[in-house]
């Protein structure tokens, strides 16, 4: 296991430098004055422009700029926002809210996704399976903002079951609807993935051997079928975290959840370039960390990876 | 179904004991889009307590389906559609799933075919043994269950079972996994053990020790054994009674030795004639008096009798004696560097041999012996680390461009079939003409004619030229691969496990074809195989390899008559049927 | 084959013991070994896939809808003669359906139906440019990484990892934020496509690794076929099926990505007709006038749904294993 962790950590290093370099490159290697470009068609505040020029060391050669910027990241300095507030401070304020939202969403999508997928897989071709397939295909086809608006309109405006925007302090009750919206697409993907994984595992030889040992179906389903089917689902959760980040940006924006996503959303619609770049960088780093953690978890789930000779 | 079919063995059995297992007129069908496809059509057999019975048949004969039906573990849409399966007088086709659960594992154990796929990769081996012990109530309490698990595994031949309990299946070799599965199958001392091709996926020497152990255990416990196999020799050696199945029906059943000595049904006669293990035995006991052999090919076994094949071949080879060497290999060595490992791996170690033109040399070894690496170096698919390969006296290592293409023209391979030897997206005609296109032989018209000629040579109809490999059987695909290899009129053909994946009758046909082609086209064969029995039929010389080194090298007769090395003797002993006294 | 064969054998040897059973030949006839059955029509993966797909109603339904979307995109004039922008009158702002304007009006008083019809080509164009880009990049990177292996694979796969580690919508947000003055169908497609290809490359690489170890590849090598030719003639054709299957689904993904970016206001300029832009404009009036939001959303979702269904059918048809899952 030690070797696996070490190898995985080593692989993460070039990816870390590569991604940060790419983002930096996209912003600062473009033709023209990157600082002015960041402000789009707005007239920037000269004081802020000066501050940004200093922060990004634009007088230095490009590659030096990049390493100074990377050094800042290691010190927890993610730059300053459009309004001059350090990004780190905004993160401290908004991150707990997003975490709360993400945990609720992850709970819904994994618990119900795996459950529905398992039942579908075990009852392949039956009514439950057919309807869950159709519903999941429809959910996958709906862009997240459409689901958000439908949710907001039906449950918020028409039925009045939930608040259309989240109140101050983001209480859990208010977060349920946005979390369900956020969970919906991944839920559908998890249902489909679990289903096909369960069907495939059920037909494997070792499952038949488990029956031949005299085990009951009640034992074989969780221990031999579900346990093995979880491996691809966990892999999916890692890549899906990117979808969750984009989804959080849109959902938090629409429901006005005071989280990290909403900050990015507001910055995007107000064309506040520096904030956008800083927050995208933060999200990408978060994505890298989550992927690393999931990969390590994967080692726990699959002994074939844990004990590579 | 006539009455003789439905109760074959009860008809006049000497003893009147009630059989442990009695299958009467069993019908099994698989539901498909086009309706129910029958897999077993009225099979009957009976097995008494403590006895051993083998079901023999080719793939698709319904032998495994019959076995799976007993414990109601038919795959997919399979269903018993008629007949009865009486186990201790109880009809297993009529009991509930819950009752069946009480029988599985506890009264009827099961050992599956492929040890690599039959243990759950995410649970430790100990866990999987212990769960069987707990489920069948053999032991209760943590310590007791663990003690029992260790004992079961030790009996099955895992000496260090206590240390390996926490290890996972992928840390075990195939043979070790099969021991674990046998341990699980016998853990509750069942009255019946069903073993479905338990050793087909293993190396021959491992196969033998595992079967010996299985035999010993079942005898000690008094468990009756239902043994499923495609190998008639193996069946006859391991079981007192045989049931021969063909296309879902039982064609012959009775005492093993009697069936082997006097096969009555023409299908059984075919199997006897085509089984390499039996043929090698028959040739062996009559090697100096082939003519006196009282077994003669009948019209049923025409083109299948391996002895006939061997005889014709031997004559041709004798005529070809004292010819120059087509292939000379000197001190060939291949070392692989393993990433992250300082020690290099020597796959082929100082190997030397030569093959005379028009003859066949068999390169024999188990998996990992380096035999296929030798083939790849000969074909210039891999470069040798050291040593020399001379083809018709020319060193092949420095050849480049045109000269290398000329070498390739002289020497062509045929690989092991299952599904990989032909490009599934190119039709048969294009596949066979690829060599002609690559070497720019002839024009479009002459190439097409050559394709038809080659198809005829391997006995396939011209209409196949526009068809794809997916539509062909394994044997037919292998014929196409042979046609492709022959397209450039090579002098040397390298056959790498070319018949290993085929059913016995098809295998016999292909061996016959190879033998005919050799005589007709004066080909030199390097025949690479793990199966010594086949070697007896096809080869003039044998080279035995073990862990990259040559162990023994001699003429086929010498190797079989008077093996020098222990490893060769072990391989010879591992040929199924070696222990049967045959009337020849 | 006749009965006397059996009898002859019985006669010549010692009589069989009582429990030696042999089935009568007429009930168990002996068939020729390994008979060649030449079917009426040839069949391989692609032929079988077409036979499978055309039997499924979903294939025809989604196919019809996709063709309809293409026709609308190419010839919007066939479906409406109301100009989407020029005829806007504020007097119609957020107005309901009237004769000739069946879906009502936007806040600016533009015809909703006409805007949907005229926005179709934008979505489709982005979708097509993105999949061309991702498929080309994915095939180049995936094929070379998988086929040549070793250091080539290490280098190409790390590059893929880096691009894969930035969710493509986030990357496009950054690129489009910087390219404020260059927002067009082409730039948005590039912004999405440049970060979306690693998924294709990974799928292809895995397939190539599987196929390149086949015996038929070795047989071609032994013939002296060049490695590039082996890749193009044997390995790639046998590895491409899963790429084709995900391409249709990625097309749907690209359409959603464009709409999401436009919805966020970093997509296409407001002068370009796009469903995402219209949804963005309409969101403020969700409470009062949901139709202006619902109709473009519906057009978007139905189009995406059609492509996703088609992708499902293609995947099932091309993968015998997926067929078994149905």
Question: Which structural domains are found in chain B, ordered by start?
Answer: 21-257 (3.40.50.300), 325-573 (3.40.50.300)
pLDDT at C98: 74
Measured between CA atoms, how close is A184 to chain C, in angstroms?
15
Least CB-CB distance to C28: which of B8, B249, B300?
Answer: B249
Supply the pLDDT for residue B374. Answer: 94
Its domain, for residue A223, covers 87-301
pLDDT greater at residue C170 or residue A272: C170
C-alpha closest to that of B200 among B212, B192, B208: B208
Instruction: Select from C266, C301, C309 the Cβ nearest to the Cβ of A268.
Output: C266
Answer yes or no: do B104 and A211 touch at CB < 8 A: yes
Cross-chain residue pair A141–C169, CB shorter than 8 Å: no
Q: Residue B373: which pLDDT band, with cuts at 50, 70 and 90? A: very high
A215 reaches B (C-beta below 8 A): yes
**B107-145 pLDDT, tens per residue?**
999 999 888 899 999 999 999 999 999 999 888 889 999
User: Which of these, A243, A244, A211, lies nearest to A225 by C-alpha position?
Assistant: A211
> Does the beta-carbon distance from C165 to A15 stay under 8 Å?
yes
C-alpha distances in Å from residue B384, one per residue of B331, B336, C265: 10, 10, 63
Report the residue of chain B nearest A220, measured CA to CA: B131
CA–CA separation, B414 and B237 (whole Å): 32
Contact A227/B at CB under 8 A: yes
User: Per-residue pLDDT tens for A207-224?
Assistant: 999 999 999 999 999 999
Q: Contacts of residue C171 in chain A, CB cutoff 8 Å? A: 22-23, 26, 280
Contacts of C286 in chain A (CB under 8 A): 149, 152-153, 157
Mean of pLDDT values over B203-210: 86
CA distance B5 to chain A (A): 29
Question: How far is it, in rounded angstroms, from Cα A219 to Cα A225?
Answer: 9
Whether B168 sits inside 8 A of A304 (CB atoms) is yes
**Correct CATH for C45-85+103-325 of 3.40.630.10, 1.10.3720.10, 1.10.10.60, 3.30.530.20:** 1.10.3720.10
Task: Report whether pLDDT(B584) > 50.
Answer: no
ipTM of the prediction: 0.85
Locate A122 and state its tokens. Answer: 């075990």
Highest mean pLDDT among A48-52, B271-275, B338-342, C142-146: C142-146
Q: How confident is the model at residue A40 (pLDDT cuts 50, 70, 90)?
A: low
Buried b (16+ CB within 10 A) or exposed e, A75-109: eeebbbbbeeeebeebbeebeebbebbbebbbebb
pLDDT, residue A193, reads: 93
Of the candidates B302, B363, B357, the one whose C-alpha atom is nearest the C-alpha of residue B324 is B357
* Interchain CB distance below 8 Å, C225 and B434: yes
Number of domains in chain A: 1
CB-based contact A35:A56 (threshold 8 Å): yes
Neighbours of C285 (CB within 10 A): 16
How does residue B328 score in pLDDT terms, banded at 50, 70 and 90? very high
pLDDT average, residue stretch B306-311: 79
First-to-last alpha carbon distance for chain B, in angstroms, is: 36
Domain contains A158: yes
B-chain residues near A210 (CB < 8 A): 120
Q: Does B460 sit within 8 Å of C222, measured CB to CB?
A: no
User: HEC states along B323-360?
Assistant: CCEEEEEEEEEEEECCCCCCCCEEEEEEEEEEEECCCE
Strands (E), B213-282: 224-229, 241-246, 249-255
Beta-carbon separation of B266 and C5 below 8 A:
yes
Question: In the B/C pair of chains, how many CB contacts fall below 8 A?
Answer: 175
- For residue B484, give the 3-state DSSP assignment: helix
Percent of chain C residues topping a pLDDT of 90: 41
> Nearest-CA distance from A131 to chain C in Å?
13
8 Å CB contact of A145 and C305: no
Question: H helices within chain A, ranges in order?
Answer: 2-28, 34-38, 46-55, 62-74, 87-122, 127-141, 144-151, 172-202, 205-212, 217-220, 227-255, 260-269, 273-301, 303-306
Q: What is the mean pLDDT of residues B195-218?
A: 88
User: Across residues A221-234, what is the average pLDDT?
Assistant: 93
* pTM of the entire predicted model: 0.86
Least confident span in A235-239, B102-106, B286-290, B550-554: B286-290
Please answer yes or no on whether C177 and A146 come within 8 Å at the CB atom.
no
pLDDT at C104 over 80: no
Contacts of A19 in chain C (CB under 8 A): 162, 165-166
Report whether B107 contacts B87 (CB < 8 A): yes
- Picking from B250, B255, B412, the nearest residue to C222 by CB comes out as B412
Q: Is A145 an 8 Å CB contact of chain C?
A: yes
Query: CB distance B461–C45 less than 8 Å?
Result: no
Residue A181 pLDDT exceeds 90: yes
In a domain, A62, yes or no: no
Question: Which of B278, B286, B264, B267 is CA-nearest to residue B306?
Answer: B278
C259 or A306, which is more confident? C259
Q: What is the DSSP letter of B398?
A: T
DSSP state of A302: -
Range of lowest pLDDT (A204-213, B161-170, B289-298, B423-432): B289-298
Banded model confidence at residue C216, pLDDT cuts 50, 70, 90? very high
Sheet with strand B549-555: strands edge to edge: B411-414, B492-496, B524-529, B360-364, B541-546, B549-555
B5 pLDDT band, cuts 50/70/90, is very low
Query: In chain A, what residues touch C174 (CB-CB under 8 Å)?
Result: 23, 26-27, 276-277, 280
**pLDDT at residue C5 tops 50:** no
Chain A, window 117-176: residues with a beta carbon less than 8 angstroms from a chain B beta carbon:
none
| CATH code: domain of residue A170 | 1.10.3720.10
By Cβ distance, the residue of C161, C162, C260 closest to A145 is C260
In the predicted structure, residue A14 carries a pLDDT above the cut 50:
yes
Measured in angstroms, the CA of B555 and the nearest CA of chain C are apart by: 29
pLDDT band of residue C6 (cuts 50, 70, 90) is very low
Q: Sign of dihedral through CA atoms C142, C146, C147, C153?
A: positive
Q: Torsion angle of alpha carbons B204, B208, B210, B211, nearest 10°? A: 120
DSSP for residue B29: E
pLDDT-based confidence at residue C69 (cuts at 50, 70, 90): very high
Tokens of A146: 């459409």
The domain limits of chain C are 45-85+103-325
Nearest-by-Cβ selection for B117 from A206, A212, A216: A206
Closest to C170 in 3D by CA, of A82, B33, B513, A284: A284
The reply to whether residue C42 touches residue B467, judged by beta carbons under 8 angstroms, is: yes
A68 inside domain: no
The mean pLDDT of C100-108, rounded to a whole number, is 74
Which residues from chain A sit within 8 angstroms of residue B105, using beta carbons? Answer: 212-215
β B21-32/B78-87 pair status:
antiparallel
State the average pLDDT over residues B52-78: 92
Q: What is the mean pLDDT of residues B56-64?
A: 92
Residue C269, CA distances (Å) to A26, A84, A88, B7, B254 in order:
20, 28, 32, 84, 86
Q: d(Cα B363, Cα B529) in Å, to the nearest integer?
A: 6
On the question of pLDDT at B168 being above 80, the answer is: yes
């Amino acid at each position: 296991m030690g070797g696996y962790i070490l190898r995985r950590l080593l692989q993460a290093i070039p990816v870390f430098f590569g991604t940060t370099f790419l983002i930096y490159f996209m912003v600062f290697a473009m033709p023209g004055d990157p600082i002015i470009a960041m402000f789009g068609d707005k007239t920037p505040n000269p004081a802020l422009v000066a501050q940004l020029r200093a922060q990004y060391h634009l007088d230095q050669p490009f590659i030096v700029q990049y390493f100074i910027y990377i050094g800042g990241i290691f010190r927890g300095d993610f730059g300053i926002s459009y309004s001059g507030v350090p990004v780190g401070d905004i993160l401290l304020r908004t991150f707990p809210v997003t975490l709360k939202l993400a945990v609720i969403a992850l709970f819904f999508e994994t618990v119900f996704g795996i459950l529905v997928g398992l039942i579908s897989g075990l009852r392949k071709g039956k009514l439950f399976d057919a309807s869950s397939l159709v519903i999941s295909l429809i959910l996958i086809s709906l862009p997240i903002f459409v689901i958000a608006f439908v949710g907001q309109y039906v449950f918020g405006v028409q039925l009045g079951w939930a608040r259309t925007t989240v109140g101050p302090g983001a209480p859990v009750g208010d977060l349920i609807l946005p979390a369900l919206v956020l969970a919906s697409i991944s839920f559908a993907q998890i249902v489909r993935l679990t289903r096909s994984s369960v069907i495939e595992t059920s037909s494997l030889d070792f499952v038949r051997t488990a029956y031949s040992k005299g085990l009951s179906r009640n034992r074989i389903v969780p221990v031999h079928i579900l346990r093995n089917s979880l491996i691809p689902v966990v892999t999916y959760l890692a890549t899906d975290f990117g979808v969750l980040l984009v989804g959080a940006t849109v959902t938090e924006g629409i429901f006005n959840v005071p989280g990290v996503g909403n900050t990015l959303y507001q910055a995007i619609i107000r064309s506040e370039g520096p904030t956008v770049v800083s927050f995208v960088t933060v999200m990408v780093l978060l994505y890298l960390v989550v992927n690393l953690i999931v990969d390590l978890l994967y080692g726990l789930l699959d002994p074939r990876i844990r004990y590579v000779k | 179904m006539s009455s003789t079919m439905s109760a074959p063995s009860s008809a006049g059995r000497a003893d009147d004991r009630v059989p442990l297992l009695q299958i009467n007129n069993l019908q099994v069908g698989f539901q498909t889009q086009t309706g129910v496809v029958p897999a077993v059509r009225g099979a009957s057999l009976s097995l008494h307590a403590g006895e051993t019975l083998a079901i023999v048949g080719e793939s698709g004969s319904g032998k495994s389906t019959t076995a799976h039906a007993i414990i109601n573990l038919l795959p997919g849409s399979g269903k018993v559609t008629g007949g009865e399966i009486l186990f201790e007088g109880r009809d297993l086709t009529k009991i509930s799933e819950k009752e069946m659960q009480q029988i599985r594992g506890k009264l009827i154990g099961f050992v599956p075919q492929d040890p690599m796929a039959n243990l759950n990769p995410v649970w430790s081996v100990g866990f999987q043994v212990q769960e069987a012990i707990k489920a069948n109530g053999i032991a209760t309490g943590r310590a007791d269950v663990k003690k029992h698990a260790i004992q079961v595994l030790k009996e099955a031949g895992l000496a260090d079972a206590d240390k390996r309990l926490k290890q996972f299946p992928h840390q075990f070799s195939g043979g070790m996994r099969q021991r674990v599965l046998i341990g699980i199958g016998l853990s509750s001392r069942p009255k019946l053990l069903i073993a479905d091709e338990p050793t087909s996926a293993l190396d021959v020497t491992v196969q033998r020790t595992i079967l010996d152990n299985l035999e010993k255990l079942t005898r000690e416990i008094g468990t009756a054994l239902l043994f499923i196999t495609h190998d008639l020799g193996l069946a006859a050696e391991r079981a007192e009674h045989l049931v021969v199945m063909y296309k879902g029906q039982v064609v012959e059943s009775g005492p093993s030795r009697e069936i082997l000595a006097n096969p009555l049904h023409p299908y059984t006669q075919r199997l006897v004639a085509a089984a390499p293990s039996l043929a090698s035995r028959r040739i062996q006991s009559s090697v100096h008096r082939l003519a006196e052999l009282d077994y003669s090919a009948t019209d049923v076994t025409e083109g299948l009798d391996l002895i006939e094949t061997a005889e014709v071949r031997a004559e041709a080879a004798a005529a070809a004696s004292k010819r120059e060497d087509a292939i000379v290999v000197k001190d060939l060595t291949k070392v692989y560097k393993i990433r992250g490992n300082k020690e290099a791996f020597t796959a082929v170690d100082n190997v030397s041999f030569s093959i005379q033109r028009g003859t066949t040399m068999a390169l024999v070894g188990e998996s990992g012996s380096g035999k296929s690496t030798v083939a790849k170096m000969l074909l210039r698919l891999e470069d040798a680390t050291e040593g020399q390969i001379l083809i018709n006296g020319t060193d092949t290592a420095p050849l480049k461009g045109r000269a290398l293409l000329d070498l390739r023209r002289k020497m062509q391979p045929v690989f092991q079939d299952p599904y990989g030897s032909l490009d599934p997206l190119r039709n048969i005609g294009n596949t066979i003409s690829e060599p002609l296109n690559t070497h720019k032989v002839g024009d479009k018209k002459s190439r097409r004619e050559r394709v038809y000629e080659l198809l005829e040579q391997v006995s396939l109809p011209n209409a196949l030229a526009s068809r794809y490999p997916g539509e062909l059987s394994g044997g037919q695909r292998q014929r196409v691969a042979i046609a492709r290899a022959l397209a450039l009129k090579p002098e040397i053909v390298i056959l790498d496990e070319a018949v290993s994946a085929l059913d016995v009758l098809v295998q016999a046909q292909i061996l016959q074809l190879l033998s005919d082609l050799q005589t007709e086209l004066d080909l030199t064969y390097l025949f690479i195989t793990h199966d010594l029995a086949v070697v007896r039929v096809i080869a003039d010389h044998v080279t035995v390899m073990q862990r990259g080194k040559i162990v023994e090298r001699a003429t086929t007769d010498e190797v079989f008559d008077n093996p020098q090395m222990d490893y060769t003797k072990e391989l010879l002993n591992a040929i199924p049927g070696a222990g049967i006294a045959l009337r020849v | 084959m006749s009965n006397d064969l059996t009898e002859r054998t019985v006669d010549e040897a010692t009589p069989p013991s009582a429990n030696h059973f042999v089935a009568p030949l007429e009930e168990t006839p002996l068939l020729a070994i390994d008979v060649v059955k030449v079917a009426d029509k040839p069949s391989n993966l692609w032929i079988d896939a077409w036979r499978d797909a055309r039997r499924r109603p979903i294939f025809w339904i989604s196919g019809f809808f996709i063709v309809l979307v293409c026709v609308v995109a190419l010839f919007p004039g066939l479906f409406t003669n109301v100009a989407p922008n020029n005829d806007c009158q504020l007097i119609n702002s957020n107005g309901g359906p009237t004769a000739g304007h069946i879906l009502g009006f936007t806040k600016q008083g533009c015809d909703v139906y006409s805007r949907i019809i005229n926005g179709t080509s934008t979505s489709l164009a982005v979708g097509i440019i993105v999949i061309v880009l991702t498929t080309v990049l994915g095939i180049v990177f995936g094929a070379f990484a998988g086929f040549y292996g070793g250091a080539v694979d290490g280098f190409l796969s790390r590059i893929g990892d880096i691009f894969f580690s930035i969710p493509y919508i986030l990357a496009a947000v950054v690129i489009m934020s910087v390219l404020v003055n260059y927002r067009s169908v082409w730039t948005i497609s590039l912004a999405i496509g440049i970060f979306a290809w690693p998924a294709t490359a990974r799928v292809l690489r895995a397939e190539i690794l599987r196929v390149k170890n086949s015996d038929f590849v070795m047989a071609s090598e032994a013939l002296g076929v060049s490695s590039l030719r082996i890749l193009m003639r044997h390995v790639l054709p046998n590895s491409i099926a899963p790429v084709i299957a995900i391409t249709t689904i990625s097309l749907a993904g690209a359409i959603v990505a464009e709409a999401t970016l436009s919805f966020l206001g970093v997509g296409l300029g407001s002068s370009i007709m796009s469903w995402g832009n219209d949804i963005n404009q309409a969101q403020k009036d969700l409470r009062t006038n949901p139709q202006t939001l619902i109709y473009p959303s519906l057009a978007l979702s139905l189009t995406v749904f059609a492509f996703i269904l088609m992708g499902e059918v293609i995947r099932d048809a091309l993968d015998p294993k997926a067929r078994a899952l149905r």
